[in-house]
Amino acid sequence: MSRPGKKRSRATLEDKESPEAILAKSEIQEEEKCTRSAAQERSSKPMGSSKGRATKKETCRSTQESKQAFSHWLMKSEPESRFEKGVDVKFGIEDLKAQPNQTACWDGVRNYQARNFMRDMQVGQEAFFYHSNCKEPGIAGIIKIVKEAYPDHTQFDKKDPHYDSSSTKENPKWSMVDVQFVRMTKRFIPLSELKTHHQAHRGSGGPLKDMALFTRQRLSVQPLREELRSLNEQDEREQ
* Footprint on this chain of DNA (rule: CB under 7 A): 7-8, 76, 84, 110-113, 132-134, 137, 166, 191-192, 195, 216-220
What residues contact residue 34 under an 8 Å CB cut-off, 6+ apart? 59, 60, 63, 64, 69
Taking the least distance from each CB to DNA, the nearer of 97 and 195 is: 195
How far apart are CB 171 and DNA at their closest, in Å?
Answer: 15
Measured from the CB atom, the residue of 15 and 84 that comes closer to DNA is: 84
Q: How far is the CB of 36 from DNA (least distance, A)?
A: 28
In whole angstroms, how close is the CB of 217 to DNA at the nearest point? Answer: 5
Choose among 85, 182, 81: nearest CA to 128: 182
Q: Which is nearer to DNA, 137 or 223 (CB)?
A: 137
Q: What does each C-alpha distance from 64 to 33, 48, 60 come to in angstroms?
A: 8, 17, 6
Pick the closer one to DNA by CB: 63 or 132. Answer: 132
Min dist CB 133 to DNA, Å, is 4
DSSP string over 135-182: SS-EEEEEEEEEEEEEE-GGGG-TTSTT--TT--SSS---EEEEEEEE
Contact criterion met (CB below 8 Å) for 136 and 167 = no
Nearer to DNA, 80 or 235 (CB): 80
Closest separation between CB of residue 89 and DNA, Å? 8
Helix, strand, coil share (%) of the chain residues, nearest 5: 35, 25, 40
